[in-house]
Amino acid sequence: MTQVIGPGKTIGIFGSGQLGRMLALAAKRFAYRVLVFSPAANSPTGGVADIEICADYNDLEAVKNFAKQVDVITLEFENIPASAVEVAAKYAPVRPGLEPLYIAQNRLREKTFLSENGFPVAPFFALRLREDLTESLAQLGDSAILKTAGFGYDGKGQAKIANLAEGQEAWARLGFQEAILEGFVDFERELSVVAARGLDGSFAHYGVIENDHRKHILDLSLAPSQLPGHVVAEAVEICRGIVERLDFVGVLCVEFFLTKNQRLLVNEIAPRPHNSGHLTIEACLSSQFEQQLRAVCALPLGSSEFLRPAAMVNLLGDLWQAKEPDWAKACAMPGVNLHLYGKSEARPGRKMGHITAVAATPHEAKEKALTARRKIIET
């Protein structure tokens, strides 16, 4: 029988951004102690953790000392060096483990894993030599997406190309590092499934969440989805298959494209809580962050039932450019909740917080969330 890491024990978190902050807040409700490890000081997670350890992930002696102080370790982003995870795992369980991180850290490894295991993806090719680009474009046609193989998110490290010359120019901007070329998907909409898997193999999910992006950054998420039941069921089963194949423990998000002929294609995997799942804090009995806590501590998973429809809109640093937003205007709206991440500097494109709105229908929740965001910057 798996030993439960119960309330009062100590949780370690690799990474100190907003995802770690919301996980730490969920842990404090259960009276866990929280230690956070990252190179950043005065971080969003550090602001609510019991102890903030500031050291480089490659400082393996610091990693060892951190791991000795905790009962279990989880993470808030996937780009943790393998060496840090390997050292930490000698002293405390790390959930999820190394294999999901290794796969998710590299787009080429990720797509290869998905394809080889029968999950639906757009056609793709590895780019390592200059001639690979010519050969791949010849098979994909004129329109494709060129992406760095590693360390990309929110549209970073990728470019849409229409011909060989554009491809060569885009790859040159990336320093001709290892890349992946994917067929362009003319999708109808973007979706995600956020799910949790426990140590005992238990599985809980939040159905399908519908997403809108702006400049490659998530702008709005809406749930429950109004898509046909068979699309929702298929997306959930694909997600279940992925977490089971990875023997995953924790919360994972699978991002999908839904094509115009209603075909689902997996775009990316995030082996952690996800931006699109933030609305579960207000909308569901157990949020994605509580599920992450429960899963990594071997507690029974909570209910993922939606109590009411919800929509979330991101608050990017762009909103601060003219003046400090008027938070009182959002707080005055019934059914609207404000989350700020405690980041010291607002920059364009930087996620500074989010607003969640709940209502009787998903459409009403969406309109309420958009209205609240608009009001905070009205003069």
Number of domains in the chain: 3
Band of pLDDT at residue 260, cut at 50, 70 and 90: very high
Same structural domain, 168 and 251: no
Share of the chain above pLDDT 70, in %: 98
Q: Judge whether 205 and 153 are in contact, CB under 8 Å.
A: no
pLDDT at 300 over 90: yes
Examine residue 117 and state whether it is found in any structural domain, yes or no.
no
**What does the pLDDT average to over 62-75?**
98
Question: Looking at residue 25, what is its pLDDT?
Answer: 98
Do 81 and 220 lie in one domain? The reply is no
Mean pLDDT, to the nearest integer, of 274-301? 98
pLDDT(151) > 70: no
Query: Residue 2 above 80 pLDDT?
Result: no
Question: What mean pLDDT do residues 314-318 have?
Answer: 97
Q: Are residues 257 and 278 in the same domain?
A: yes
- Is residue 282 domain-shared with residue 341, that is, in the same domain? yes
The model's pLDDT over 105-139, given as tens digits with 9 standing for 90+, comes to: 999 999 999 999 999 999 999 999 888 888 898 88
Instruction: Give the end of a domain, one of 161, 183, 205.
Output: 183
Within-domain flag for 4? no
Same domain? For 326 and 197 the reply is: yes
Instruction: Report, as an integer, the average pLDDT of 301-325.
Output: 96
Of the three residues 76, 94, 112, the one that is the final residue of a domain is 94
pLDDT at 372: 98
The torsion angle over the Cα atoms of residues 338, 344, 350 and 351, rounded to 10 degrees, is -20
- Model pLDDT for residues 226-239, shown as the tens digit of each residue: 999 999 999 999 99
Cis ω for the linkage preceding 228 (within 30 of 0): no
Residues, the chain: 379
What per-residue confidence (pLDDT) applies to 283? 98
Structural domain includes residue 102 = no
Mean predicted confidence (pLDDT) in 257-273: 96
Tell me the C-alpha distance between 332 and 350, whole Å. 25
Domain that holds residue 139: 123-183
Q: Quick check: is 106 in a domain?
A: no
Same structural domain for residues 139 and 211?
Answer: no
Mean pLDDT (the chain) is: 94
Residue 34 lies in a domain: yes
- What is the Cα–Cα distance from 257 to 229, expressed in whole angstroms? 16
Are 132 and 195 part of one and the same domain? no
User: Quick check: is 177 in a domain?
Assistant: yes
CA 242 to chain centre: 15
- Is there a domain that residue 115 lies in? no
> Is the domain of 246 the same as that of 309?
yes
CATH of the domain at 49: 3.40.50.20
- Read off the pLDDT band of 361 (50, 70, 90): very high
Using the 3D structure, point to which of 77, 94, 111 is the last residue of a domain: 94
The pLDDT-based confidence of 201 (bands split at 50, 70, 90) is very high
**Whether residue 221 sits in one domain with residue 169:** no
Same domain, 132 and 276: no
- The residue ranking higher by pLDDT, 365 or 163, is 365
Q: How confident is the model at residue 374 (pLDDT cuts 50, 70, 90)?
A: very high
DSSP 288: H
Does one domain contain both 346 and 200?
Answer: yes
pLDDT of 116: 97
Strands 158-161 and 33-38: unpaired
Residue 173's CATH number: 3.30.1490.20
Query: Residue 271: pLDDT above 70?
Result: yes
- Say if residue 1's pLDDT is above 70: no
112 falls within a domain: no
Please indicate, yes or no, whether residues 284 and 371 belong to a single structural domain of this protein. yes
Continuous H helices in 117-215: 130-140, 164-173
CATH number at 198 reads 3.30.470.20
How far apart are the C-alpha atoms of 275 and 295, rounded to whole Å?
A: 19
